[in-house]
Amino acid sequence: MPRITALSLDHANDTTRPLLVGVQKKIGFLPNVFKTLAHAPAVLSAYVQHSVALGKTSLSATEKEAVFLATSQVNGCDYCLAAHTLFAGKTGLSGQDILKARQGELNAFAALARQVTESRGHLSDEQINAARLAGIDDAKIIEVVAHVASQTLTNYLNNLALTEIDFPAIEN
């Protein structure tokens, strides 16, 4: 049972309702994580704006999903693992690819995201050099950190709120 109840559109205020409607139009339904964020209008607004900005990074859709999956695995967020398993599949990642991404083994982006999340950003010179040797330049390193930070917000919120998963079931 959720510790923080997801708000319905009917109970959203004038600030959050348009944001929630926009999310619903983009995704095709209104995920519980956004309805939970709606309790804090400034946070929902900031998260949506941040997500729009991060949508313009140089990372491909599959690279982003690898980051999201690796981060959510480390942070133990079943809600985000379910969501990003669905989204990763839509980008063309196979079930095996998704499992590898969760473990940080799919590609250098998943590995870097896992390392950043596990170490809370305290990477060794060797880890940074390995990312660079794999073709991740400084701009992309910063983009990975930004995606990890954004994902960590929803991971922590869902873990704390016990947000009801409204995405298809996942295999652990």
Cα–Cα distances in Å, from 46 out to 51, 57, 66, 165?
8, 17, 23, 22
pLDDT, averaged across the chain? 96
Same domain, 82 and 139: yes
Q: What pLDDT was estimated at residue 169?
A: 59
Same domain, 50 and 72: no
Q: What pLDDT was estimated at residue 89?
A: 96
Return d(Cα 158, Cα 130) in angstroms, integer.
Answer: 32
Structure tokens at 47: 């998260």
Instruction: Say whether pLDDT at 171 is over 70.
Output: no
Is residue 135 in a domain? Answer: yes
Only one residue has tokens 């967020």, namely 77
Q: What is the CATH number of the domain that holds 111?
A: 1.20.1290.10
Q: What pLDDT was estimated at residue 120?
A: 97
Instruction: Say whether pLDDT at 131 is over 60.
Output: yes
Return d(Cα 163, Cα 81) in angstroms, integer.
Answer: 12
Only one residue has tokens 């480390």, namely 74
Is residue 133 in a domain? Answer: yes
Residue 21: CB atoms within 10 Å: 13
Instruction: Say whether pLDDT at 61 is over 90.
Output: yes
* Over residues 48-53, mean pLDDT: 96
Is residue 4 in a domain? Answer: no
Same domain, 30 and 89: no
Domain count across the chain: 2
CB 150 within 8 A of CB 47: yes
66-88 pLDDT per residue, tens: 999 999 999 999 999 999 999 99
98-127 pLDDT per residue, tens: 999 999 999 999 999 999 999 999 999 999
* Over residues 91-102, mean pLDDT: 98
Only one residue has tokens 């083994």, namely 105
CB 6 within 8 A of CB 164: yes
Q: Percentage of residues in the chain with pLDDT exceeding 90?
A: 97
Q: Percentage of residues in the chain with pLDDT exceeding 70?
A: 98
pTM of the model: 0.94
Q: What is the CATH number of the domain that holds 19?
A: 1.20.5
Instruction: Say whether pLDDT at 56 is over 90.
Output: yes
3-20 pLDDT per residue, tens: 999 999 999 999 999 999
Dihedral-angle region of residue 120 (phi above 0 means left; psi in -120 to 50 means alpha; beta otherwise):
left
According to DSSP, residue 11 is labeled G
Helices (H), 15-102: 16-27, 32-37, 41-54, 61-75, 78-90, 95-102
Q: What pLDDT was estimated at residue 168?
A: 77
Domain that holds residue 49: 9-54
Same domain, 26 and 101: no
Cα–Cα distances in Å, from 127 out to 116, 124, 141?
10, 5, 11
The confidence band for 25, taking pLDDT boundaries of 50, 70 and 90, is very high
Return d(Cα 120, Cα 93) in angstroms, integer.
Answer: 27
